[in-house]
Each structure stands twice: as structure tokens, then as C-alpha cells.
């Protein structure tokens, strides 16, 4: 991995003179997760990091940088978000340079923190072999990387970034992992309708309406025009009630239906850990079943809700 990092740095250095900015990752404050790095001068390149702590999907920054020549470092799943943004013509391909990577899985900082029980302060953390070694105020511990991966890594279908201008390292298949942990969607399926409704009432009761989910979502392109905070139109009111919060989540799910790549940024960003990608996953399943479509694979395709067929093969309409 070390040489992959060096190759990446070399590639960025070479490309930088022609670019306004390159977005990559740098070490974060606590060592458990890396943070975004915006490289504008060659000296910044030394800060670049690449290992499983590069969890964040950087694609969300791209629409805001439209008009600039931007380089971006992308994992396989991040690249699907880039494809979506290209498809919606919210970024320009010719202005964009993608440094693509082969990814063997990214860590879920929340999960690691919970597993390590490392107390409030992490002094240092480093990856060694298949483990993350953490030294914290409580002492030292080591966590197997595989146990700490993000949920989406267990469903990974493409570890190599595509589209890509410069591929760093070797192409390869997604990592072979143990069985995926059960998702909220699986758990919901075992519940009655009443229980599901209660589940969401309880979950949404914890929502603090910070809209981090929206800000992290690379497809929430409406930015400061989000319908959640507008009065024209007035879809959601400001009462502190689970109903309104659930309404917003339904809105987020339906607005991204057929576009969401399940990058998981919404859940990763949620400060209270709500399973808010669940609805999006359900819609994606339906869209796959009805229209045989998956978002983020082909920037030339039209998302299924923006087209139709006169005879929908997989839609069975009710006969009254």
C-alpha cells in the first residue's frame, strides 16, 4: 500500500500544474479517520494519505467546484457518485481528473470507536498488517480491519474506480469478506407494519435535524435550495415532531430514487447514528427489480424516473 500511496503522490504532483485543486485525504485529528485535503500547492501533496481510513466520499465537493479544473482521488464506490454527477450534467468531464484507486475496504470510524472502547482520547492509531492498533487514554488495543469495515464494503460490487483518468496500483476484484452484518432493512422485514412505524417514530425522535445527512450526500445537489427548509414550497414544517423528520427522510429517499449509489455518506455523517440509508436501499431494490437499473454505472444512461416505456415489462397493474 505504501508504494500505491507514493504512486498517487507522484501522479498528483505531475498533474497539479494543470489543475486548480486536487481533492484527496489527509490524516485526521484522532487517527481513526482521514479527512479531506484540498491540494493547491505542491507542498500539500506530502500530506496525502491512502489507507482504509479514507472512508469519506469526496465526490460531494465536486458540484461546488464547477468551473474549476479539479482533480479528485476516488475509491470504486466514490467513482459511482462521480458518474451520477456527470450523468446529471452537474460537473464537466473535461474539467475533471480522476485519480482512481483499487480499494480493499474502508473503515467505519463509529464502529471502530465502539469496538475499541478507547475512551475519549485517542493518542495514536496506525495500520499494521490486518490490524488497526490504537493507543488511547485507556491503553492500547488492536482491531481486525475486516471487523471494522463500513457496511457498504460487504456489498461492494466494484473496488476499482470508474471513470478514471489515472489508475494508481493494480486493478482487482472486491475484497472477499465474511458474511455481511444484517441491515436495518433485513430487520424491518421481520417486523409488523405497526412495529416498523413505531421503529421510525423512535428513531426519528432522536433526530436533531442537523441535516448532516443532506450535506454529506453527494447527490443532494439542491444545496442551499433544499425543499426541507423552504416555505415555497413548504413540504416540511419546523415542528419538532418525528412526523416531519420522517417526511424529510422520505423526501431525501424519493429525491435520490434511481440516483442514489448507496455510498452511505448520509449514515456516516449522522451524529446520532440513525439508519437513514434504509429507505434508499429499499427504493434501489425496487428500481433494480422494475427497471433493471443501478445508479452510478453509466453516465450516458437516463435515470429510470426520468424516462418510461409504454409497456413496462415488470409492472403488474391491478385489474379492478
* Shorter beta-carbon distance to other proteins: residue 18 or 224: 224
Is residue 121 close enough to count as binding other proteins by CB under 8 A?
Answer: no
Q: Are 102 and 169 in contact (CB under 8 A)?
A: yes
Q: Which stretch binds other proteins (CB under 8 A): 11-19, 68-76, 114-122, 306-314?
A: 306-314
DSSP single-letter state for residue 293:
-
Cα–Cα dist 277/264, whole Å? 7
Taking the complex as a whole, how short is the minimal distance between the CB of residue 273 and other proteins, in angstroms? 18
Provide the Cα torsion 293, 296, 301, 302; round to 10°: 80
Taking the complex as a whole, how short is the minimal distance between the CB of residue 283 and other proteins, in angstroms? 6
Nearest to 30 by CA among 112, 151, 90: 112
Taking the complex as a whole, how short is the minimal distance between the CB of residue 179 and other proteins, in angstroms? 23
Is residue 14 close enough to count as binding other proteins by CB under 8 A?
Answer: no
Q: Which stretch binds other proteins (CB under 8 A): 14-22, 36-44, 125-133, 248-256?
A: 248-256
Cα–Cα dist 141/263, whole Å? 29
Q: Binding other proteins by CB under 8 A: which of 2, 41, 43, 89? A: 89
Is residue 235 close enough to count as binding other proteins by CB under 8 A?
Answer: yes
Is residue 225 close enough to count as binding other proteins by CB under 8 A?
Answer: yes
Taking the complex as a whole, how short is the minimal distance between the CB of residue 270 and other proteins, in angstroms? 17
Q: Are 262 and 282 in contact (CB under 8 A)?
A: no
Q: Give 127's strand partners.
A: 132
Q: What is the per-residue binding string for other proteins in 190-209, x denoting contact by CB under 8 A?
A: ---xxxxxxxxx---x----
Taking the complex as a whole, how short is the minimal distance between the CB of residue 246 and other proteins, in angstroms? 6
Residues contacting residue 28 through CB under 8 Å, at least 6 positions apart: 34, 35, 53
Nearest to 83 by CA among 219, 212, 174, 216: 219
* Shorter beta-carbon distance to other proteins: residue 3 or 308: 308
Amino acid at each position: 500500500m505504501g508504494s500505491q500511496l507514493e504512486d498517487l503522490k507522484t501522479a498528483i504532483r505531475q498533474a497539479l500544474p494543470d489543475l486548480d485543486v486536487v481533492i484527496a485525504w489527509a490524516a485526521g485529528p484522532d487517527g481513526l479517520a482521514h479527512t479531506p485535503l484540498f491540494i493547491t500547492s505542491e507542498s500539500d501533496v506530502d500530506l496525502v494519505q491512502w489507507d482504509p481510513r479514507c472512508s469519506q466520499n469526496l465526490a460531494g465537493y465536486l458540484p461546488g467546484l464547477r468551473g474549476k479544473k479539479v482533480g479528485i482521488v476516488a475509491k470504486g464506490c466514490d467513482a459511482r457518485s462521480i458518474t451520477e454527477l456527470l450523468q446529471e450534467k452537474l460537473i464537466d468531464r473535461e474539467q475533471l481528473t480522476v485519480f482512481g484507486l483499487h480499494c480493499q475496504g474502508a473503515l467505519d470510524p463509529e464502529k471502530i470507536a465502539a469496538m475499541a472502547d478507547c475512551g475519549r482520547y485517542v493518542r495514536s492509531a496506525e495500520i499494521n498488517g490486518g490490524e488497526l492498533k490504537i493507543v488511547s487514554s485507556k491503553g492500547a488495543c488492536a482491531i481486525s480491519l475486516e471487523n471494522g469495515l463500513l457496511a457498504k464494503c460487504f456489498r461492494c460490487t466494484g473496488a476499482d474506480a470508474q471513470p478514471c483518468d489515472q489508475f494508481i496500483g493494480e486493478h482487482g476484484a472486491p475484497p472477499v469478506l465474511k458474511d455481511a452484518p444484517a441491515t436495518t432493512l433485513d430487520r424491518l422485514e421481520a417486523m409488523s407494519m405497526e412495529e416498523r412505524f413505531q421503529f421510525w417514530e423512535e428513531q426519528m425522535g432522536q433526530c436533531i435535524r442537523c441535516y448532516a445527512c443532506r450535506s454529506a450526500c453527494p447527490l443532494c445537489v439542491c444545496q442551499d435550495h433544499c425543499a426541507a427548509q423552504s416555505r415555497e414550497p413548504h413540504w416540511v414544517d419546523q415542528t419538532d415532531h418525528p412526523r416531519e423528520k420522517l417526511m424529510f427522510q422520505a423526501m431525501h429517499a424519493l429525491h435520490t430514487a434511481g440516483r442514489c449509489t448507496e455510498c452511505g455518506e448520509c449514515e456516516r455523517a449522522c451524529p446520532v447514528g440513525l439508519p437513514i440509508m434504509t429507505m434508499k436501499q429499499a427504493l434501489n431494490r425496487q428500481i433494480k427489480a422494475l427497471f433493471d437499473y443501478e445508479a452510478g454505472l453509466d453516465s450516458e444512461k437516463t435515470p429510470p424516473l426520468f424516462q418510461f416505456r409504454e409497456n413496462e415489462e415488470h409492472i403488474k397493474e391491478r385489474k379492478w
